[in-house]
Structure 1
């Protein structure tokens, strides 16, 4: 019996114990994290390659190839100060709209034209907004339609005065109705 105990002790010392359940889970989690990180990096690189613009160094093939369009100039945001205030008569009650507008333009010379023609611009916008129905501009669709109409009015004025639309977007920076 002593020999059997000695033989078992020798076998136990020579053989490695299998890792416990928690060590297996830790190794599995680490491997899974590395795989997920690899997939994420690979997906990001693939997305960048797919959605990146074509290289500017690509040579044109033949005479029918179209030139690559130039990037637009950076946007310039020009706030119209002071805010436009328009009053409405709604069922015998006075209602007010205060709108702060910011214009998005791309050319510096348009700024000086806007400043020069500011009285005409403010008059056009006041007349346009004042002619709206109060109930209609309370909705999101009405506000968006009014924004588009303001853009068209500004572009019309700029076209008359400087020969180009000049204004790319009209943005509300504050819109209060009472």
Structure 2
């Protein structure tokens, strides 16, 4: 319920800011962000005897604030896809900068593909890792 209230507040403030700053006839892109709560924590394929894990915070950027409701509705599907992608990665890929970017891109492509299957169009403009911890 707290998440819904925050979402509603963000949507309202976004709509107000569009009306205040947009000149007549001018179109303004209003971006909004959807964050997965709680952080995503999962294991990955480790080269060592102990289990490796990764903990990430993911923010999805959308062009239209109303799309946040769609993302919230499909949160379990999107979260499961990210966990599946992370769980299939090797330790070397998880711990390298280029590997991190490849993982981010794979998550972005997969989520948009899933959204296209579910609602008929991709919604995610960008996917950001705002926290990326591994062991």
TM-score higher than 0.5 = yes
Partner of 1:166: 123
- Shift in Å, 1:71: 5.0
TM-score (normalised: structure 1): 0.58
Higher relative contact order (CA 8 A, sep 6+): 2
Partner of 2:108: 151
- Map residues 96-107 of structure 1 onto 2, 5 A cutoff: 96-107=53-64
- Shift in Å, 1:77: 1.5
Q: Which stretch shifts more, 119-128 or 107-116?
A: 107-116
Partner of 2:30: 74
CA 1:141 to 1:71, structure 2 compared with 1: closer, same or farther past 3 Å? farther
CA RMSD between the two structures: 1.5
Long gaps (5+) in structure 1? 1-69
Which structure is larger by alpha-carbon Rg, 1 or 2?
Answer: 1
Q: Structure 1 residue runs of 4+, over 4 Å off?
A: none
Long gaps (5+) in structure 2? 1-25
Separation in structure 2 between the aligned mates of residue 89 and residue 154 of structure 1, nearest angstrom: 22
Separation in structure 2 between the aligned mates of residue 94 and residue 137 of structure 1, nearest angstrom: 13
CA 1:134 to 1:116, structure 2 compared with 1: closer, same or farther past 3 Å? same
Separation in structure 1 between the aligned mates of residue 128 and residue 37 of structure 2, nearest angstrom: 13
2:42 counterpart (86, 96, 104): 86
- The count of corresponding residues between Structure 1 and Structure 2 is 109
